[in-house]
Amino acid sequence: MSLFVVVLCLLLLILVSAMSQWKLLVLLTVLFTGAAVTLMWYNNKLNRENQDIAERKIETVHIVYGSEKRSLLKDLEFQEILRKKHGLVIKGEKTDHLETPGQDLRSIDAFWPSANMAASIFKSLDPDSQYETKNIFNTPLVFYSWPKVTKFLIRHGVVKKKGHRYVMPDLSKFLRLGKRTWEDFRIPGLGGPIIFKSADPAQSTAGLLTAGITLIALNRAEITDEKEAEAHLRGIRKIFGRMGKKESSADILFNRYFKQGQSKWPIIAACENQVIEYYQTFLRDQDKIRKNIRVLKPVPGVLSEHPLVAITEKGKMLLTALCDAEIQQLAWKKFGFRSGVADIENDPGDLKIIGLSEQAETSVSMPSEQVMRKVLGVISTVGN
């Protein structure tokens, strides 16, 4: 390429010289010389960078990670940034929900779950170890619905529109509608109880968050102890019982919600990143998403946190790398993970129209592990 440019420049100079345009010849000579010097500098810079990458020792970091980050870890752009800028390659094994690594901890460098509760459980197994931990990403739990259903909820004071956002200031008000049916309100094409659908809390982080925020809403405040939770376990059982069969993951739930439409899935609960990742993956559906999906945010809400627990020095290197602003931006734009470590604006872009906001809404803490174990036990008795 460089040789081709040089030859072309020489030919132009010869042509201009033959035309006796000496002023133009001088100008072109200066311009071509500058271009040639710039091109040589750029080529040398690329060669140095490629040489640095080739000479740098690439470390393989062995991790166990929450399934919600599977697409990010497989992304080629993410892998390139990690390798070129930080000299790291991830070798990972997927885990689900609250499961913690079962293998010898000497074989892994870091644990990266999709729930802070899972990280706490993991650290409690060996409380004497000094792990370095930082929350890398957040993604709030939201409710997904449709324009007609959202208008109905606004009319009944369950949802309020604030700018381009749709918020649910009192989730308990919506839960009380569950005693009624869609037929009671004569909404064409809708039937059955007015209830949202959730992924199975025993198998899905989003499902667990849904159970937690439902319990909080029934209590009208944060759940501070098991005694507060006991009073609402029967209500939790009824709500999740009315849902019927529950999907094993939020991915499956969101896909069915979007493809099967309003009559089958009037409202679902899942994490915010679901719609962003779907939007970026299935380009042919982008217009349909902008026109038909509405994101309803409970206020206050709960967050799916993604803390990385660094076990070894290589785990700490990965923790530092994941805080890189370029990685944080990539994770938001392509996969919908809000930054947990950097002051980065989360511009929703085209998805502002469906209710995405620049910042996550205020959140409350999830109930304790002990409380959620009881909730899971009660929900499991209603079957699937």
Please state the pTM of the whole predicted model: 0.83
Q: Give yes or no for residue 147 having a pLDDT over 90.
A: yes
Q: Which residue has the higher pLDDT, 14 or 209?
A: 209
Q: Give yes or no for residue 73 having a pLDDT over 90.
A: yes
For the segment 181-205, the average pLDDT, to the nearest whole number, is 89
Q: Which residue has the higher pLDDT, 293 or 104?
A: 293
- For all residues of the chain together, what is the average pLDDT? 86
Same domain, 194 and 233: yes
Q: Give yes or no for residue 13 having a pLDDT over 80.
A: no
C-beta separation of 268 from 332 below 8 A: no
E strands present in 226-298: 268-271, 294-298
Can you tell me the distance from the alpha carbon of 376 to that of 229, in angstroms, rounded to the nearest whole number? 12
Same domain, 132 and 223: no
Note the pLDDT tens digit of each residue in 302-346.
Answer: 999 999 999 999 999 999 999 999 999 999 999 999 998 877 778
Give me the CATH number covering residue 95: 3.40.190.10
Note the pLDDT tens digit of each residue in 241-281.
Answer: 999 999 999 999 999 999 999 999 999 999 999 999 999 99
For residue 17, being part of any structural domain is answered with no
Same domain, 158 and 266: yes
Confidence of residue 6 (pLDDT cuts 50, 70, 90): low
- As a whole-number percent, the residues of the chain with pLDDT over 70 amount to 84
For residue 264, being part of any structural domain is answered with yes
The count of domains in the chain is 2
Can you tell me the distance from the alpha carbon of 45 to that of 22, in angstroms, rounded to the nearest whole number? 34
Same domain, 227 and 255: yes
Q: Give yes or no for residue 369 having a pLDDT over 60.
A: yes
Non-local (6+) Cβ contacts of 345 within 8 A are: 358
Q: Which residue has the higher pLDDT, 347 or 354?
A: 354
